[in-house]
Structure 1
Amino acid sequence: MANNENTEEIITIDSDDDDLEVTHYATPTTSNRFSGVKHGADTPFKSEPSRTLLSGSSSAVKIQPVDSDEEDANDGELAYKKFKERKSLKRKQTAAATRKAKMPRGDPIVGRVKQERPTPLPKRPLKQWGEVSSEDELMENTLPRYLKIRRSQFDRKYEHLQDHGLKLPPTYEDVDFSDDERLEELQERPVFPINTRKQDYKDIELPYSMGIIPAPIAQWLRQYQVEGVAFLHELFVYQKGGVLGDDMGLGKTIQVIAFLTAAYGKTGDERDAKRMRKMRRSDDSVWYPRTLIVCPGTLIANWKSEFARWGWWHVESYHGENKDLALDAAKSGRVEILITTYTTYMNNKDSVNMIEWDCVIADECHKIKERKSGTTQSMNEINALCRIGLTGTAIQNKYEELWTLLNWTNPGVLGPVSTWKAQISEPLKIGQSHDATLSELSRARRTAKKLVENLLPQFFIRRMKSLIADQLPKKIDRVVFCPLTETQAEAYENFLDSDIVDYIKTSTEPCECRSGKKSGWCCRRFIPDRDPPNWQSYVFPAINVLQKLSNHLAILIPQGVDPKEKQEKDRDYLELALPEQWEDLYRSRDSIVNYANPEFCGKWKVLRKLLKWWHSNGDKVLIFSHSVRLLKMLQMLFHHTSYNVSYLDGSMSLDDRAKAVDEFNADPRQFVFLISTKAGGIGLNITSANKVVVVDPNWNPSYDLQAQDRAYRIGQLRDVEVFRLISAGTIEEIVYARQIYKQQQANIGYNASSERRYFKGVQEKKDQKGEIFGLKNFFGYQNTNIVLRDIVNRTNVAESRAGVQVVDIDLQAEEEGYDYTDRPMKSEDEAMSQIAAMICGEDEDKKDHKPSANLPTPHKHDPVQAILASAGVEYTHLNNEVIGSSRVEEDLSRRAELAPNDTTGDRQVFMSSQPFSQPTGEPVRFKYHPPEDVIRRQFCSMARRFGYADATEFALVVEGMTQAQRRACLDKWYRERREVLLSADQNTSEEEWIKDENIPKEEMDVKGGWIKDEKGPKEES
């Protein structure tokens, strides 16, 4: 918000700033690693939050109304206007008076005696955000009154009692345990095999929260898990909230149980089973914690088994037929841990919230990522001050999801979501565009660092799976772009040519009537002969049809068991896609022949060959799809083969799902496990499998990542291969490209990483749709062209070109405060050599024409690649090579951050053409789209440069390169082209240079990918 001179801007938020400024004390009194805020200051749960408007400012101008009968009489229009508005004004005055009369009534509670409101603590005014809207509303303004009262009481208690007002572990000094006399004989948990790796057997003290992790548990925890336990227990003691965002497979459940062990003051032996009962019998006024865990239904059994493995706990589940008995036990203090599901809680929130929970743990808390969803709104009312979220995917689609999670844990502390969008989301998204300017990139990188280094550590911690790399085998995440069959391609194009898609695609174009409106809101609002007629009704169904066509044509055929209305709709879409075959297909709609038809599914051609190979090698395979119908089709097909098949989808009970998993893990004869992506993506441990196939990409990348982790987790003994099948040129490419986009955004939000900037589009920016956003991109077909390959290659080239431009960074290193080496630079040539080593990873002699050491030799026969090639696959890549940063991107980001705020900030980082000057002063520009014959000549030159006998041999090598190796190759090539051009006029004549480089005389203006124009620079697009 802009500051006006002499105007007081109130920036404070009515929130509990103790999350930012808590004061801790050293043991034996508690101390806090956070700095700044005193407990008892304004909290996010204040009982009467309000927005204080600015007043008394010297710059405030009061506009007095004109009060002149003469003016009114002389102005007939004004008099008439006042006459027309008299009733409206009267209604507004009446409504205002009614609101004023209702205000003193407060918040009456039926059936209860209203308690006197305690004297409110001093409050600071809220930041003035302008007009209040749904995005400007702070969550604490809508919190239930019982939460506001609880927060006020806790703050006052801490203010008066200091450490004694905190939720420190219960003391058992006055409780007699008969087992104390036989401590050495007491059983302890957990119990693992003797050869299991463990730490020293000793208690671990948590100095910031006066907690203790008992030795029986502490010996099995890794250091990062101890740190997680300390983080969680500190939140509990100070009744704050936070998110444990560790990557999947790092033991978030174990960290929670260890933290609860410390919070309950347990010792990890048999005595823990008696603590709750003895405390309840000793004195009803003695505090003993009560914890609620909310999780997906598939995880209830896992939580119970883990509690039983790691200690002695009284755990009940509030789910199913006997849930009321469990809730009654929790109310009476006979339960330590109550577990429920999100749906069960949402449907029974009033009953659950009658209990004052000391801690609520939301497992897979990304379930509440949508700010306006019913689940999130219900969870906002949960009766607990300490709110802890567990998720490995806090950012799945956009940065606002992270705000929603953090705002649930600490309501109001982060301010309204509108501010989060303006200060965090927008800069990060715009700066990640391929066409970002220097200033946009600079702001994005600075914002990411502030977010990760300053803001998030107070509420959010995340560790990556690399911490346990020593316990895991290798994982290869391969993306396979499968061609459509001829029948599929024909059906796909037919549907795109339909009137439905035509109206959708042209809806945002200017209307032909020249009204200035978009056609979809003018003359083309309705599709003739369609019911309903408005084109908007067909957007999502049409996208769904394209996804079905990309997967398997048989999915589009109506099912006989479907309702008649649905069959008619599906039949209409089938007719649009296959106008000559739809009648025959409809008549045989339930025939297995349609499922097995190889012309109906290009992916099936690939999958069938892979399965045959894996079966002969004794592998076990997980096949995930979000289409249950496709899974059932595959199940029916496999029943006619020698493959033993297991199956799991959302229609199965939790017990049946667990049974299917156990049978697959235990029986080595079970070969394929067909699993619904959403139903089986979390909570399942299927480490007996070592191959994972994701048949169709999901819009949300976390679903596909979680599916992989069913096999790739602790306990896996074999290397894991993941195959993501993408139909080339179809909407599935857009879906997968958006997965990349979202994964990159998440990495930026978690780690402030300098992700490679592939895409020109910006999410939710109407004027920057780029290649992956907007309806036109959804409803296009590239036929044999693989869009993502072109995007990746374009970025490789752009980075290589930009890499040539950053060769002077060391020449200003001293001025910019950045060094690549400790020794001073002696010359520009030395700087050039150093940057070459940095980019290419090695020093090389460009005159040595032996095959380059950093290029792969012709690769050995790879049976998987051979299988894919035989199925018509032209392009694959490894997902982990596409996600992440590059050295050039890191350098560009660093330079953008250090760049001065001048006019150069408006220049694009990846310019469409980037000029430089030869020694003669003639400008030369890169030619990005040269003719095909020039491309072929350049490729032959590259082959000779890197020491290969012919271009074919070099092509085979390039085909087997990883993305990183291709980037290194391009970096080297373009850098050397630049050096040759810069030295050409100094050392040799143009004719000699052309002769040395084996370039034909007639192509003398084309030099290694660079073009020179006597009249000035030019570029061919």
Structure 2
Amino acid sequence: MRRSGAPSQGGYRPPAFKVPRPEGAPVLTPRAGPTTNVPSSNPPTPDLKSNEGERHFSAIWCKCSARKHKKWEDDALLIVRAAQRLAILKDTSGKELARGSGLSIPELANLNTGNSITFGGREIEILEEMTGTACDKGIQRDEIVPRDESDAALPFHRPKVISSTVFKPFTVPTRFGTTFQPMGNKENSRISIFNKDSQDALVMPRPPFDFKRQCDEIVDVVVDPHLSKHLRPHQRQGVSFLYRCIMGFQDPTCHGAILADEMGLGKTLQTISLIWTLMKQGPFAGKPVIKRTLILAPSSLVKNWEGEFQKWLGRERIETFAVDGSNRVHEAFKRARLPVLIMSYEMFNKSFEDIQRFLQFDLIVCDEGHRLKNDKIKASTFLAQVDCDRRIVLTGTPIQNDLKEFYAIMCVVNPNVVGTSKTFTSKFEDPIVKSKQPEATEEQRQIGQSALEVLTDLTNRFILRRTQDIISKYLPSKTEFVLFCRPSAIQIRMYQNALHSLGSSYLVDSSCVLGSIQKLRKICNHPSMCDIAPELEEDMANLTFEEQGSKLALVSHLLYNLRTLGSEKIVIVSISTQVLDLMGELCTHYDYPFLRLDGSTSTNQRQVVVNRFNDRLGKDFVLLLSSKAGGTGLNLIGASRILLYDMDWNPAHDIQAMARVWRDGQKRPVLVYRLATSGTIEEKIFQRQITKQGLGGGLMDGKSTQFHFSQTDLKDLFSFQPNVDCETHELLDCDCDGSGNNVGSEPRVKSEVELRDCQIGEAIDPTTIDDKGIKGLLQWQHLLPPIGLLGDQALADIPVISYALKNEFNQTIASA
């Protein structure tokens, strides 16, 4: 266990192997494109007044780049004087764009239709040779004629120019390589552009009979088969639901929707399918519904959205503009036909006035919409001022804490659909919350249940929620461990000292509660994070840096075993940057290559870090991830293991973080590790999480709840049991021996007098809680090492693990 040197005196100071904080991933610079404008040592001075041997070409140009598919900028006129080794590029108005001198005479003399030349930092492709008359009038394709051989002769022979270019009839790109045939024609304009009768065609619903129609000519809207062939059944239903909401078919007074699918179900692909469909089609005479879309997302996901559009549609079909460090929002104002604008919430707030002045949107998409749970923040306030009724909010956790936050998100898509804030509070929130309190009367429970049913009926019109159960058959297996570690001797000493100094003051002054909680959590993470040095005996002072903190010792063993076993990568998540610093020092000490993504990582670099980590041939072994900066939306399927070093009070944050690895595209079985120091406040946080999941599943499951800290709760919160293996297991009243054979057994039924408080909230009977809460833990394997075998080689021979809860998902399908 002792693989590092002895720590500094006291055991609480930073380790000897501490190094500066690692920098972000290096910026990838593009390779320079080919060039032909290499001047000679003594280039002759061209006679600009002489036009002898001058040739004119119509051309297109772009900036030099190494990319395969060029992004051509504009039409241009190319003037070539081969005898003078000179080429001049002008725009259609006659303004000079670039000039190249000292070029190769044979290259200039032999320029022909379809050839390319590079000079002045621009790459030019020849379209056709022009006469002097056409050149004088500007580039007009109707007047372009081939140059005759009787014109001024050149000193070098050149092939005869083709007299004209024959163009093939235009075909919609999405029809290449598909069985769908073009159906639209002038004789029958009511036929959709894709065959609605073709196999696997995804046809959107027609307007209801009583819907207020823009015209009588109704056309079937069929999703582009280029996209629909990739949609799974639940995604097809999602696209259809969003379409009905946005078009107002669900409710003519509402044109917004909330897609609240759990993480990993493909909300991005469903949204892209809807945007592309509405941009190209519409039910009324086939007229497109939208022209421009605004997508708001956390800064770490801006580039990810741009990449998803390119992945599913390609650069040829749609143009997107992602506002980041290299692309400024003011550049978007110059593009009159820009269909999709992607930016972060912060950039939206900063540029709101200019956006209101220069741009107008037909659809707004808010990714990770739970960021709008406060209607007083700038983003929510500004969105309320934007003149756009069609809105979509994407979030995997629509309800995190209370119904007030849920109301704020609803107002983003459909303002006042459930009334004003005061009306919502009096009609829905207060009755529902009161009905969930332990002291609620039977009448209050009935009133609350009635209010909940009415609210559910209202919101089901524009909210769609599916769980990961519907996609689990497409994913590999997932095994989740909750690993409990007994605190080290130093942690016990410091924890007891902290509780002693706190005394019972928290019962009188609640302002000290938060600070005390943070201090106790730092001790659980590692003693070195605390400023106060304890007086230690000699045996404690000689502990290695890892031995001073039990969770750090577990991570050190886990990384060593994992590195020894093979090439699997791991993501380490924490809510604290101090913990990420500690993990970085550990990786540096043992030469584990790692990357880091936190709030200090620039927007441009975040996607670079993700792509580098996901690279199958990459050398990076560990990704250190801040749950605040990168816990939502990122795709980290390059790793097959994820470790949550500390837990958040809000279970939604941990669920979001765990979903970064177990999602579409993952090929390996996934293992999730959640760490907690037994008998401490970390176990109380875990217990509150599972209680909140069970009782506060929220409106999506037909129930909601509100928790408050009572004095009894606070007393239990600051209790400490240093010698317990797992306090949570004791609360379950499970009689198992820790061998893992408890799965499938029923909990022991106890009388009402015998029921214990489940740490936070009311007394809870495990037999009455659903599978997401306390009762759900009874279906997990309870493992007491060494009796209980963990079944994971990476966890072998780790003595600091005192107890483990294990749950396996999708094992039958994975082994089939």
TM range (shorter): 0.5 to 0.7
SS in 2 for 1:693: strand
Higher relative contact order (CA 8 A, sep 6+): 2
Task: Report matched runs for 1:884-899 at 5 Å.
Answer: none
2:681 is the alignment partner of 1:731:
yes
1:402 corresponding residue in structure 2: 406
Between the aligned partners of 1:350 and 1:626, the Cα distance in structure 2 is 34
Maintained 8 Å contact 2:204/2:243: no
1:222 corresponding residue in structure 2: 232
Shift, 1:622, TM fit: 1.3
Maintained 8 Å contact 1:289/1:358: yes
Deviation per residue, 1:213-259 (Å, 9 max, x gap): 12222222223222222222233323611211111111111111111
1:550 corresponding residue in structure 2: 524
Maintained 8 Å contact 1:483/1:872: yes
2:726 is the alignment partner of 1:781:
no
1:329 corresponding residue in structure 2: 334
Alignment match of 1:604 (pick from 549, 552, 573): 552
1:643 corresponding residue in structure 2: 592
Shift, 1:309, TM fit: 2.6
Shift, 1:629, TM fit: 1.9
TM-score in terms of structure 2 length: 0.62
SS in 1 for 2:523: helix
1:352 corresponding residue in structure 2: 355
User: Quick one: which amino acid aligns to residue 336 of structure 1?
Assistant: P
Maintained 8 Å contact 1:477/1:722: yes
Maintained 8 Å contact 2:278/2:290: no
Between the aligned partners of 1:627 and 1:185, the Cα distance in structure 2 is 47
Deviation per residue, 1:15-68 (Å, 9 max, x gap): xxxxxxxxxxxxxxxxxxxxxxxxxxxxxxxxxxxxxxxxxxxxxxxxxxxxxx
Task: Report matched runs for 1:252-401 at 5 Å.
Answer: 252-265=267-280, 289-311=291-313, 312-320=317-325, 322-329=327-334, 333-354=336-357, 355-401=359-405
Task: Report matched runs for 1:200-215 at 5 Å.
Answer: 200=199, 202=201, 204-208=203-207, 211-215=221-225
Maintained 8 Å contact 1:482/1:728: yes
Between the aligned partners of 1:295 and 1:855, the Cα distance in structure 2 is 40
User: Quick one: which amino acid aligns to residue 873 of structure 1?
Assistant: I
Maintained 8 Å contact 1:429/1:745: no
Task: Report matched runs for 1:44-55 at 5 Å.
Answer: none
User: Quick one: which amino acid aligns to residue 258 of structure 1?
Assistant: S
Shift, 1:301, TM fit: 1.1
Alignment match of 1:250 (pick from 261, 265, 270): 265
SS in 2 for 1:543: helix
Q: Whose helix proportion is higher, 1 or 2?
A: 1
Task: Report matched runs for 1:910-989 at 5 Å.
Answer: none
In structure 2, relative to structure 1, the CA distance for the partners of 1:184 and 1:259 (3 Å cut) is: closer
Shift, 1:700, TM fit: 2.3
2:497 is the alignment partner of 1:494:
yes
SS in 1 for 2:222: strand
Between the aligned partners of 2:443 and 2:495, the Cα distance in structure 1 is 42
2:774 corresponding residue in structure 1: none
Between the aligned partners of 1:693 and 1:727, the Cα distance in structure 2 is 15
Between the aligned partners of 1:799 and 1:420, the Cα distance in structure 2 is 41
Q: Which runs of 5+ in 1 are unaligned?
A: 1-177, 192-198, 268-278, 280-285, 508-519, 521-534, 558-573, 586-592, 756-761, 804-835, 840-853, 882-1021
2:582 corresponding residue in structure 1: 633
SS in 1 for 2:749: helix
Q: CA RMSD in A?
A: 4.1
Shift, 1:554, TM fit: 1.2
User: Quick one: which amino acid aligns to residue 875 of structure 1?
Assistant: Y
Shift, 1:650, TM fit: 2.0
Between the aligned partners of 1:861 and 1:539, the Cα distance in structure 2 is 39
1:811 corresponding residue in structure 2: none
Q: Whose strand proportion is higher, 1 or 2?
A: 2
In structure 2, relative to structure 1, the CA distance for the partners of 1:644 and 1:356 (3 Å cut) is: closer
Maintained 8 Å contact 1:294/1:342: yes
Q: Which runs of 5+ in 2 are unaligned?
A: 1-166, 181-197, 209-219, 249-253, 736-744, 753-766, 771-780, 810-816
Maintained 8 Å contact 1:398/1:745: no
Between the aligned partners of 1:219 and 1:369, the Cα distance in structure 2 is 35
Deviation per residue, 1:752-778 (Å, 9 max, x gap): 27x9xxxxxx74546x5664xxx4444
User: Quick one: which amino acid aligns to residue 626 of structure 2?
Assistant: S
TM-score in terms of structure 1 length: 0.50
Alignment match of 1:615 (pick from 551, 563, 567): 563
SS in 2 for 1:205: coil
2:515 corresponding residue in structure 1: 541
Maintained 8 Å contact 1:201/1:216: no
In structure 2, relative to structure 1, the CA distance for the partners of 1:261 and 1:188 (3 Å cut) is: farther
In structure 2, relative to structure 1, the CA distance for the partners of 1:580 and 1:340 (3 Å cut) is: same
In structure 2, relative to structure 1, the CA distance for the partners of 1:787 and 1:860 (3 Å cut) is: closer
SS in 2 for 1:699: coil
Between the aligned partners of 1:687 and 1:482, the Cα distance in structure 2 is 28
Between the aligned partners of 1:336 and 1:732, the Cα distance in structure 2 is 48
Shift, 1:638, TM fit: 1.9
Between the aligned partners of 1:553 and 1:315, the Cα distance in structure 2 is 49
1:21 corresponding residue in structure 2: none
In structure 2, relative to structure 1, the CA distance for the partners of 1:728 and 1:424 (3 Å cut) is: farther
1:234 corresponding residue in structure 2: 244
2:685 is the alignment partner of 1:685:
no
User: Quick one: which amino acid aligns to residue 365 of structure 1?
Assistant: G
Identity of aligned residues (%): 27
In structure 2, relative to structure 1, the CA distance for the partners of 1:662 and 1:442 (3 Å cut) is: same
Shift, 1:261, TM fit: 1.7
Between the aligned partners of 2:782 and 2:377, the Cα distance in structure 1 is 51
Maintained 8 Å contact 1:244/1:389: yes
Task: Report matched runs for 1:22-37 at 5 Å.
Answer: none
Between the aligned partners of 1:633 and 1:184, the Cα distance in structure 2 is 52
SS in 2 for 1:388: strand
User: Quick one: which amino acid aligns to residue 687 of structure 1?
Assistant: I
Deviation per residue, 1:175-196 (Å, 9 max, x gap): xxx97654699647999xxxxx
2:732 is the alignment partner of 1:792:
yes
Maintained 8 Å contact 1:317/1:326: no
Shift, 1:720, TM fit: 1.0
2:506 corresponding residue in structure 1: 505
1:875 corresponding residue in structure 2: 803
1:83 corresponding residue in structure 2: none
Task: Report matched runs for 1:573-612 at 5 Å.
Answer: 574=532, 578=534, 597-612=545-560
In structure 2, relative to structure 1, the CA distance for the partners of 1:403 and 1:793 (3 Å cut) is: farther
SS in 2 for 1:497: helix
Shift, 1:724, TM fit: 0.5
Shift, 1:432, TM fit: 5.3
Shift, 1:723, TM fit: 0.9
User: Quick one: which amino acid aligns to residue 306 of structure 1?
Assistant: E
1:906 corresponding residue in structure 2: none
